[in-house]
Amino acid sequence: MPRANRTGQSGQEQGKGLGRSGRGRMGGQGSGQGGYCVCPSCGKKVEHKAGVPCYEEKCPDCNIDMVRE
């Protein structure tokens, strides 16, 4: 049986950003996959691509950085 460190995490959970609840550092509230990136100027929506933050996407119409919906 793994020994717990002083933060209450077992050896398997160490270094993974998991606390006692088993959720990630964001408390399980990350945006995740799916959803849309939206242009703050014209409102155009494009499907979010996994692994690519919306702020790195440009609106195809305005050429402005998009934001996550």
Q: pLDDT tens across 28-41, in order? A: 445 667 899 999 99
Confidence of residue 46 (pLDDT cuts 50, 70, 90): very high
CA distance 69 to 54: 9
The answer to whether the predicted template modeling score (pTM) of the entire model surpasses 0.85 is: no
Domain residues for 6?
Answer: 1-30
In the chain, % helix, strand, coil (3-state, to 5) comes to 5, 15, 80
The structural domain count of the chain equals 2
Instruction: Based on the fold, state whether residues 23 and 52 are members of the same structural domain.
Output: no
45 with 14, same domain: the answer is no
Contact 38, 49 (CB under 8 A): no
SS3 68: strand
CA distances in angstroms from 7 to 1, 10, 11, 23, 28, listed in the order given = 17, 9, 11, 15, 19
